[in-house]
Amino acid sequence: MGFSIGTKGYIGTGLDAGGNFMVDFWEWDQSTNVWTQKANFIGNIRYEAAGFSIGTKGYIGCGDYNVGPTLYNDFYQWDQGTNTWTAKANYPGLGRFGIVGFSIGTKGYFGCGGISGTYYNDFWEWDQGTNTWVAKASFPGVGRSSPAGFTIGTKAYIGTGRAVGPIYQTDFYEWDQGTNTWSIKAAFPGAARFYASAFSIGSKGYIGTGYNGATFYGDFWEWDQASNSWVARANFGGTARRAGVGFSIGNKGYIGTGTDAGASIKDFWEYCQ
């Protein structure tokens, strides 16, 4: 999982090329293009966790250990100023993998995800000030794991993902923080997939890469909030992959790590509009 705080990007946890579950946590500095190891994640080893940032704090929660036997609903805060981790109130939904996470203002959000054979469409808000979770209007699409998500202003967006079947999805929805309502938007025009990477820059959202159970994708698409329309952009610069981390810093987007047709990888790429 990953997130950004200011001009720094962060990647941690996951599964390496040797099948080892990881707790290491790394910071990338946009100004120097240098990685620095930070305090290890204090929760149990896992992959398919979710993360987001609020102010100078980063958050990691949920995830899976050993492909299904252990599913987590714990939730942790990392402080950029002190480089320390603190346990916060557990996510109130069932432990799960493939959850999507993002933030709007001082609130964080987790939604969808699943357990073996069951996928969810619940959607929860976490308040940084009170350390409490509140259920919000459920995601209106079919329950799914590993969808892509991002935010633009006070709106959140979720699309793609894998439903029971498996059936891979292209639908795309907007959630309004002010009204707690969902509305359907123009469907993602690429092939149906899950494990795609996503981020936003200004009023544009981006979804790319991913997997459909047979094919790894390297295409990359831009969604315009004003016109509710998609356009293809330059393909991702690395190998086609699934489960890469995506985030943005300023007017640049970033995708790194993930798994291609060979094994887990650790390259890191910058997108310029």
Quickly list DSSP for 161-201.
-EETTTEEB--EEEEETTTTEEEEEPPP-S--BBS-EEEEE
pLDDT tens track, the chain, 273 positions: 999 999 999 999 999 988 899 999 999 999 999 999 999 999 999 999 999 999 999 999 999 997 668 999 999 999 999 999 999 999 999 999 999 999 999 999 999 999 888 999 999 999 999 999 999 999 999 999 999 999 999 999 999 999 999 999 999 999 999 999 999 999 999 999 999 999 999 999 999 999 999 999 999 999 999 999 999 999 999 999 999 999 999 999 999 999 998 889 999 999 999
Sketch the domain layout of the chain as residue ranges.
Answer: 2-272
Residue 61, C-beta contacts closer than 8 angstroms, at least 6 positions apart: 49, 50, 51, 72, 73, 74, 75, 76, 91, 99, 101, 110
Neighbours of 177 (CB within 10 A): 17
**Placement of tokens 């930070």 in the chain:** 38
- Separation CA 123–CA 104 (nearest Å): 14
Inter-residue contact 249 to 30 (CB < 8 Å): yes
Q: Residue 218 is encoded by which pair of tokens? A: 């390297």
The angle at the Cα of 41, spanning 40 to 47, to the nearest 5 degrees, equals 120
pTM of the model: 0.97
Which H helix or E strand runs over 209? strand 204-211
Amino acid at 57: K
Q: Residue 160 is encoded by which pair of tokens? A: 């793609």
Predicted confidence (pLDDT) per residue in 128-165, tens digit:
999 999 999 999 999 999 999 999 999 999 999 999 99
Amino acid at 122: D
Separation in Å, CA 267 to CA 27, 71, 132: 14, 28, 36
Neighbours of 191 (CB within 10 A): 13
Residue 187, C-beta contacts closer than 8 angstroms, at least 6 positions apart: 159, 170, 171, 172
DSSP-derived pairing of the beta strands 114-115 and 118-119? antiparallel
Residues present in the chain in total: 273
Q: Residue 30 is encoded by which pair of tokens? A: 């946009």
Domain 2-272 sits in CATH at 2.120.10.80
Inter-residue contact 222 to 231 (CB < 8 Å): yes
